Chain A
Amino acid sequence: MHEMTIAQSLINAVRAHAKRRQGERIVAVGLRLGELSGVDAEALKFGFDSLIKGTDLDPLELQIEHAPHRHRCPTCDREFDVIDYDVSCPQCGTSQTESISGDEIEIIYLEVED
Protein backbone atom coordinates (compact mmCIF):
# COMPACT_ATOMS: atom_id res chain seq x y z
CA MET A 1 0.00 0.00 0.00
CA HIS A 2 1.01 3.61 -0.49
CA GLU A 3 0.87 4.35 3.24
CA MET A 4 4.54 3.34 3.39
CA THR A 5 5.43 5.96 0.75
CA ILE A 6 3.43 8.55 2.64
CA ALA A 7 5.00 7.58 5.96
CA GLN A 8 8.43 8.04 4.36
CA SER A 9 7.49 11.48 2.95
CA LEU A 10 6.15 12.43 6.36
CA ILE A 11 9.41 11.43 8.03
CA ASN A 12 11.40 13.39 5.44
CA ALA A 13 9.29 16.45 6.23
CA VAL A 14 9.87 15.97 9.97
CA ARG A 15 13.61 15.74 9.33
CA ALA A 16 13.54 19.00 7.41
CA HIS A 17 11.83 20.62 10.39
CA ALA A 18 14.36 19.06 12.79
CA LYS A 19 17.20 20.64 10.84
CA ARG A 20 15.68 24.07 11.33
CA ARG A 21 15.11 23.41 15.04
CA GLN A 22 18.62 22.73 16.30
CA GLY A 23 18.74 22.34 20.07
CA GLU A 24 15.18 21.08 20.28
CA ARG A 25 13.90 17.56 20.14
CA ILE A 26 10.72 16.74 18.21
CA VAL A 27 8.65 14.35 20.32
CA ALA A 28 5.34 14.36 18.44
CA VAL A 29 3.97 15.30 15.06
CA GLY A 30 0.35 16.30 14.47
CA LEU A 31 -1.07 15.31 11.11
CA ARG A 32 -4.38 16.26 9.53
CA LEU A 33 -5.78 13.48 7.40
CA GLY A 34 -8.72 14.27 5.14
CA GLU A 35 -11.60 11.87 4.77
CA LEU A 36 -10.89 11.76 1.01
CA SER A 37 -7.12 11.53 1.25
CA GLY A 38 -7.25 7.86 0.39
CA VAL A 39 -4.92 7.16 3.30
CA ASP A 40 -5.71 4.62 5.97
CA ALA A 41 -4.73 6.04 9.37
CA GLU A 42 -3.96 2.64 10.92
CA ALA A 43 -1.72 1.59 8.05
CA LEU A 44 0.02 4.95 8.08
CA LYS A 45 0.69 4.76 11.81
CA PHE A 46 2.04 1.25 11.43
CA GLY A 47 4.34 2.28 8.57
CA PHE A 48 5.47 5.39 10.44
CA ASP A 49 6.29 3.50 13.63
CA SER A 50 8.22 0.79 11.83
CA LEU A 51 10.26 3.32 9.82
CA ILE A 52 11.07 5.40 12.93
CA LYS A 53 12.04 2.48 15.16
CA GLY A 54 15.72 2.50 16.12
CA THR A 55 16.52 5.75 14.29
CA ASP A 56 17.62 9.01 15.88
CA LEU A 57 13.99 10.23 15.71
CA ASP A 58 12.79 7.37 17.94
CA PRO A 59 10.64 7.91 20.04
CA LEU A 60 8.37 10.11 17.95
CA GLU A 61 4.62 10.00 18.34
CA LEU A 62 2.28 10.42 15.39
CA GLN A 63 -0.98 12.16 16.35
CA ILE A 64 -3.61 11.95 13.65
CA GLU A 65 -6.52 14.35 13.41
CA HIS A 66 -9.27 13.46 10.95
CA ALA A 67 -10.54 16.20 8.66
CA PRO A 68 -14.06 16.00 7.27
CA HIS A 69 -14.96 16.51 3.64
CA ARG A 70 -16.17 20.13 3.39
CA HIS A 71 -18.00 21.97 0.63
CA ARG A 72 -18.78 25.62 0.00
CA CYS A 73 -21.92 26.98 -1.61
CA PRO A 74 -21.17 29.62 -4.27
CA THR A 75 -24.73 30.97 -4.05
CA CYS A 76 -24.88 31.77 -0.35
CA ASP A 77 -21.25 31.32 0.74
CA ARG A 78 -22.15 28.75 3.36
CA GLU A 79 -19.42 26.21 4.23
CA PHE A 80 -20.54 22.84 5.52
CA ASP A 81 -19.44 19.26 6.26
CA VAL A 82 -20.50 16.72 3.67
CA ILE A 83 -22.32 14.00 5.54
CA ASP A 84 -23.23 10.74 3.85
CA TYR A 85 -22.04 12.16 0.47
CA ASP A 86 -24.77 14.80 0.46
CA VAL A 87 -23.17 17.82 -1.22
CA SER A 88 -26.31 19.99 -1.42
CA CYS A 89 -26.24 23.26 0.49
CA PRO A 90 -28.06 22.98 3.85
CA GLN A 91 -29.11 26.63 3.54
CA CYS A 92 -30.38 27.08 -0.03
CA GLY A 93 -30.51 23.52 -1.31
CA THR A 94 -28.41 23.92 -4.45
CA SER A 95 -26.41 20.83 -5.36
CA GLN A 96 -23.83 22.87 -7.31
CA THR A 97 -21.35 23.27 -4.47
CA GLU A 98 -17.60 22.99 -4.52
CA SER A 99 -15.21 20.91 -2.51
CA ILE A 100 -12.95 23.04 -0.29
CA SER A 101 -11.24 20.45 1.87
CA GLY A 102 -11.12 16.81 2.76
CA ASP A 103 -8.16 15.48 0.82
CA GLU A 104 -5.38 16.99 2.93
CA ILE A 105 -2.38 15.04 4.20
CA GLU A 106 -0.79 17.81 6.16
CA ILE A 107 1.44 18.35 9.17
CA ILE A 108 -0.20 20.95 11.42
CA TYR A 109 2.01 21.05 14.47
CA LEU A 110 5.05 19.60 16.14
CA GLU A 111 5.58 19.04 19.81
CA VAL A 112 9.13 19.85 20.80
CA GLU A 113 11.24 19.72 23.93
CA ASP A 114 14.23 21.91 24.55
Chain B
Amino acid sequence: MRKRVSAKTKVLGENDRVAAELRSRFAKRKTLVLNLISAPGAGKTSLLEESLERFPSELRTAVLTGDIETDNDAARIARSGTPVKQITTRGSCHLNAQMVGRGLEKLGARDIDILFIENVGNLVCPASFDLGETSKIVVLSVTEGDDKPLKYPATFVKSRLVVINKIDLLPYVEFDLARAHENAKRVHPDIDILETSCKTGDGIETWIRWVVERLKAVRS
Protein backbone atom coordinates (compact mmCIF):
# COMPACT_ATOMS: atom_id res chain seq x y z
CA MET B 1 0.00 0.00 0.00
CA ARG B 2 1.23 3.44 -0.89
CA LYS B 3 0.88 6.19 1.69
CA ARG B 4 2.20 9.68 2.31
CA VAL B 5 4.06 10.39 5.54
CA SER B 6 5.19 13.72 6.89
CA ALA B 7 8.99 14.06 7.00
CA LYS B 8 10.04 17.65 7.62
CA THR B 9 13.80 17.88 6.98
CA LYS B 10 15.94 20.81 5.94
CA VAL B 11 18.10 19.65 3.06
CA LEU B 12 20.97 21.95 4.04
CA GLY B 13 20.37 21.27 7.73
CA GLU B 14 23.95 20.20 8.31
CA ASN B 15 25.29 23.42 6.75
CA ASP B 16 22.81 25.47 8.79
CA ARG B 17 23.86 23.71 11.98
CA VAL B 18 27.57 24.46 11.41
CA ALA B 19 26.72 28.04 10.37
CA ALA B 20 24.76 28.56 13.59
CA GLU B 21 27.75 27.33 15.59
CA LEU B 22 30.05 29.72 13.78
CA ARG B 23 27.61 32.59 14.26
CA SER B 24 27.45 32.09 18.01
CA ARG B 25 31.25 31.84 18.17
CA PHE B 26 31.57 35.11 16.21
CA ALA B 27 28.96 36.79 18.41
CA LYS B 28 30.78 35.78 21.58
CA ARG B 29 34.03 37.30 20.28
CA LYS B 30 32.22 40.29 18.78
CA THR B 31 33.73 39.63 15.36
CA LEU B 32 32.11 41.31 12.38
CA VAL B 33 31.92 38.79 9.53
CA LEU B 34 31.15 39.95 6.00
CA ASN B 35 30.43 37.48 3.20
CA LEU B 36 31.28 39.09 -0.15
CA ILE B 37 29.34 37.75 -3.11
CA SER B 38 29.53 38.75 -6.78
CA ALA B 39 29.67 37.48 -10.33
CA PRO B 40 33.23 36.50 -11.38
CA GLY B 41 35.49 39.53 -11.68
CA ALA B 42 33.21 42.21 -10.20
CA GLY B 43 36.04 43.32 -7.93
CA LYS B 44 35.78 41.55 -4.55
CA THR B 45 39.55 41.03 -4.25
CA SER B 46 40.29 44.53 -5.56
CA LEU B 47 37.97 46.09 -3.00
CA LEU B 48 39.84 44.30 -0.22
CA GLU B 49 43.25 45.15 -1.72
CA GLU B 50 42.30 48.82 -1.91
CA SER B 51 40.89 49.08 1.58
CA LEU B 52 42.58 46.66 3.99
CA GLU B 53 45.58 48.87 4.70
CA ARG B 54 43.36 51.85 5.32
CA PHE B 55 41.29 50.52 8.19
CA PRO B 56 42.11 52.06 11.60
CA SER B 57 45.31 50.28 12.64
CA GLU B 58 43.91 49.08 15.97
CA LEU B 59 41.36 46.93 14.13
CA ARG B 60 42.50 43.41 13.41
CA THR B 61 41.27 42.29 10.02
CA ALA B 62 41.56 38.87 8.39
CA VAL B 63 40.40 37.36 5.11
CA LEU B 64 39.26 33.97 3.87
CA THR B 65 39.05 33.74 0.11
CA GLY B 66 37.24 31.02 -1.75
CA ASP B 67 38.38 30.02 -5.17
CA ILE B 68 37.62 27.00 -7.30
CA GLU B 69 41.24 26.15 -8.13
CA THR B 70 43.92 28.80 -7.67
CA ASP B 71 45.30 30.77 -4.76
CA ASN B 72 45.89 34.00 -6.74
CA ASP B 73 43.44 36.04 -4.68
CA ALA B 74 45.07 35.07 -1.38
CA ALA B 75 48.49 36.03 -2.78
CA ARG B 76 47.15 39.43 -3.83
CA ILE B 77 45.59 40.10 -0.44
CA ALA B 78 48.66 38.88 1.46
CA ARG B 79 50.60 41.84 0.00
CA SER B 80 48.57 44.14 2.26
CA GLY B 81 50.01 42.33 5.27
CA THR B 82 46.57 41.11 6.35
CA PRO B 83 46.34 37.50 7.55
CA VAL B 84 44.66 35.57 4.74
CA LYS B 85 43.90 31.92 4.01
CA GLN B 86 42.73 30.43 0.77
CA ILE B 87 39.87 27.98 0.70
CA THR B 88 40.02 26.00 -2.53
CA THR B 89 36.60 24.53 -3.15
CA ARG B 90 37.79 21.92 -5.67
CA GLY B 91 35.18 22.51 -8.30
CA SER B 92 32.40 23.70 -6.04
CA CYS B 93 30.81 27.01 -7.03
CA HIS B 94 30.23 28.28 -3.49
CA LEU B 95 31.65 28.19 0.02
CA ASN B 96 29.83 26.25 2.70
CA ALA B 97 29.95 26.61 6.47
CA GLN B 98 32.28 23.63 6.96
CA MET B 99 34.85 25.19 4.63
CA VAL B 100 34.71 28.42 6.64
CA GLY B 101 35.24 26.42 9.84
CA ARG B 102 38.34 24.81 8.35
CA GLY B 103 39.56 28.16 7.03
CA LEU B 104 39.27 29.65 10.52
CA GLU B 105 41.39 26.83 11.92
CA LYS B 106 44.03 27.60 9.31
CA LEU B 107 43.99 31.25 10.35
CA GLY B 108 44.91 30.05 13.82
CA ALA B 109 43.85 31.22 17.23
CA ARG B 110 44.01 34.93 16.74
CA ASP B 111 41.56 37.62 17.75
CA ILE B 112 39.81 39.07 14.76
CA ASP B 113 37.68 42.20 14.74
CA ILE B 114 36.62 42.05 11.11
CA LEU B 115 36.65 38.86 9.04
CA PHE B 116 36.03 39.23 5.32
CA ILE B 117 34.98 36.10 3.47
CA GLU B 118 35.41 36.41 -0.28
CA ASN B 119 32.99 33.89 -1.74
CA VAL B 120 33.52 32.11 -5.07
CA GLY B 121 32.70 34.35 -8.04
CA ASN B 122 29.08 33.40 -8.66
CA LEU B 123 25.89 35.40 -8.16
CA VAL B 124 23.50 32.49 -7.60
CA CYS B 125 24.85 29.57 -5.62
CA PRO B 126 26.46 31.32 -2.61
CA ALA B 127 23.07 32.77 -1.65
CA SER B 128 21.85 29.32 -0.57
CA PHE B 129 24.66 28.68 1.91
CA ASP B 130 24.71 30.38 5.29
CA LEU B 131 28.31 30.85 6.43
CA GLY B 132 27.48 32.20 9.87
CA GLU B 133 28.26 35.70 8.63
CA THR B 134 26.94 38.91 10.19
CA SER B 135 25.94 40.19 6.74
CA LYS B 136 26.17 39.33 3.10
CA ILE B 137 27.44 42.00 0.73
CA VAL B 138 26.91 41.87 -3.00
CA VAL B 139 29.38 43.54 -5.36
CA LEU B 140 27.96 44.57 -8.71
CA SER B 141 30.23 46.04 -11.37
CA VAL B 142 28.97 48.50 -13.94
CA THR B 143 30.11 46.25 -16.78
CA GLU B 144 27.40 43.76 -15.82
CA GLY B 145 24.14 45.63 -16.33
CA ASP B 146 21.80 47.56 -14.06
CA ASP B 147 19.13 44.83 -14.15
CA LYS B 148 21.20 42.32 -12.15
CA PRO B 149 19.11 42.80 -8.96
CA LEU B 150 15.99 41.74 -10.86
CA LYS B 151 17.73 38.76 -12.43
CA TYR B 152 19.26 37.51 -9.17
CA PRO B 153 16.81 38.68 -6.50
CA ALA B 154 17.76 36.00 -3.95
CA THR B 155 21.27 37.40 -3.53
CA PHE B 156 20.09 41.01 -3.34
CA VAL B 157 17.25 40.23 -0.91
CA LYS B 158 19.69 38.55 1.45
CA SER B 159 22.41 41.20 1.26
CA ARG B 160 22.73 44.12 3.62
CA LEU B 161 24.75 46.21 1.16
CA VAL B 162 25.36 46.42 -2.55
CA VAL B 163 28.67 47.88 -3.66
CA ILE B 164 28.44 49.21 -7.21
CA ASN B 165 32.05 48.93 -8.37
CA LYS B 166 34.08 50.08 -11.39
CA ILE B 167 32.25 53.41 -11.56
CA ASP B 168 35.31 54.81 -13.39
CA LEU B 169 34.02 52.82 -16.37
CA LEU B 170 30.58 54.47 -16.40
CA PRO B 171 31.37 56.69 -19.40
CA TYR B 172 32.13 53.61 -21.50
CA VAL B 173 29.25 51.30 -20.65
CA GLU B 174 25.49 51.39 -20.77
CA PHE B 175 24.83 51.27 -17.08
CA ASP B 176 22.23 53.55 -15.56
CA LEU B 177 23.25 54.20 -11.94
CA ALA B 178 19.82 55.55 -10.97
CA ARG B 179 18.14 52.48 -12.42
CA ALA B 180 20.56 50.17 -10.59
CA HIS B 181 19.66 51.89 -7.30
CA GLU B 182 15.98 51.62 -8.13
CA ASN B 183 16.22 47.93 -8.99
CA ALA B 184 18.20 47.09 -5.86
CA LYS B 185 15.72 48.98 -3.65
CA ARG B 186 12.84 47.34 -5.45
CA VAL B 187 13.90 43.82 -4.47
CA HIS B 188 15.19 44.96 -1.06
CA PRO B 189 13.95 48.36 0.16
CA ASP B 190 16.31 48.42 3.17
CA ILE B 191 19.50 47.62 1.26
CA ASP B 192 22.41 50.06 1.59
CA ILE B 193 24.14 51.14 -1.61
CA LEU B 194 27.71 52.38 -2.12
CA GLU B 195 29.55 53.30 -5.29
CA THR B 196 33.26 52.59 -5.64
CA SER B 197 36.14 52.52 -8.04
CA CYS B 198 39.15 50.43 -7.14
CA LYS B 199 41.02 52.18 -9.98
CA THR B 200 40.58 55.80 -8.82
CA GLY B 201 39.88 55.10 -5.14
CA ASP B 202 36.51 56.84 -5.31
CA GLY B 203 34.16 55.65 -2.59
CA ILE B 204 36.74 53.53 -0.78
CA GLU B 205 36.71 55.79 2.31
CA THR B 206 32.91 55.53 2.45
CA TRP B 207 33.15 51.75 2.19
CA ILE B 208 35.60 51.66 5.10
CA ARG B 209 33.29 53.88 7.17
CA TRP B 210 30.34 51.60 6.38
CA VAL B 211 32.28 48.54 7.59
CA VAL B 212 33.44 50.29 10.77
CA GLU B 213 29.84 51.32 11.50
CA ARG B 214 28.78 47.68 11.20
CA LEU B 215 31.52 46.70 13.63
CA LYS B 216 30.18 49.24 16.13
CA ALA B 217 26.74 47.66 15.80
CA VAL B 218 28.20 44.20 16.48
CA ARG B 219 29.99 45.51 19.57
CA SER B 220 27.06 47.36 21.09
Whether B8 pairs with A103 at a CB distance below 8 angstroms is no
Whether B127 pairs with A38 at a CB distance below 8 angstroms is yes
Q: Does B218 contact A (CB under 8 A)?
A: no
Please, which residues of chain B bring their CB within 8 A of the CB of A114?
Answer: 1
| CB-defined A-B contacts under 8 Å, sample of 9 | A2-B94, A6-B12, A13-B9, A38-B127, A38-B154, A106-B10, A107-B7, A107-B10, A109-B4
Give the one of A5, A69, A104 with max B CB within 10 A.
Answer: A5
Whether A87 pairs with B7 at a CB distance below 8 angstroms is no
Give the one of B3, B157, B158 with max A CB within 10 A.
Answer: B157
Q: Does A9 contact B (CB under 8 A)?
A: yes
CA distance A39 to B157 in the complex (A): 15
Task: State the interface size on chain B (CB cutoff 8 A).
Answer: 32
Give 5 A-B pairs besides A5-B94, A110-B5 with Cβ atoms closer than 8 angstroms: A38-B125, A38-B127, A95-B189, A107-B8, A112-B5
- Residue ranges of B at the interface with A (Cβ–Cβ < 8 Å): 1-15, 92-94, 124-125, 127-129, 150, 153-155, 157-158, 186-187, 189
Q: Does A92 contact B (CB under 8 A)?
A: no
Whether B2 pairs with A13 at a CB distance below 8 angstroms is no
CA distance A59 to B9 in the complex (A): 21
Q: Which of A1, A95, A105, A113 contacts B11 (CB 8 A)?
A: A105
Whether A87 pairs with B189 at a CB distance below 8 angstroms is yes
- Residue ranges of A at the interface with B (Cβ–Cβ < 8 Å): 1-2, 5-6, 9-10, 13, 16-17, 27, 30-31, 36-39, 69, 85, 87, 95, 99, 103-114
CA distance A36 to B3 in the complex (A): 30
Given the interface pairs A1-B125, A2-B94, A2-B125, the reply to whether A110 lies near B4 with Cβ below 8 Å is: yes
CA distance A99 to B10 in the complex (A): 18
CA distance A9 to B77 in the complex (A): 33
Whether B1 pairs with A113 at a CB distance below 8 angstroms is yes
Please, which residues of chain B bring their CB within 8 A of the CB of A105?
Answer: 10-12, 128
Whether B2 pairs with A112 at a CB distance below 8 angstroms is yes
Shortest distance from the beta carbon of A32 to any chain B beta carbon, whole Å = 9
| Residue in B closest to A108 when the chains form the complex, CB atoms | B8
Can you list the 8 inter-chain pairs with the closest CB atoms, starting with the nearest?
Answer: A2-B125, A38-B127, A38-B154, A107-B9, A36-B154, A38-B128, A105-B11, A110-B7
| Residue in B closest to A6 when the chains form the complex, CB atoms | B11
Whether B128 pairs with A2 at a CB distance below 8 angstroms is yes
CA distance A114 to B186 in the complex (A): 50
Whether B153 pairs with A85 at a CB distance below 8 angstroms is yes
Please, which residues of chain B bring their CB within 8 A of the CB of A109?
Answer: 4-7
Whether A2 pairs with B4 at a CB distance below 8 angstroms is no
Whether B187 pairs with A85 at a CB distance below 8 angstroms is yes
Given the interface pairs A2-B125, A37-B128, the reply to whether A9 lies near B154 with Cβ below 8 Å is: no
Please, which residues of chain A bring their CB within 8 A of the CB of B8?
Answer: 106-108
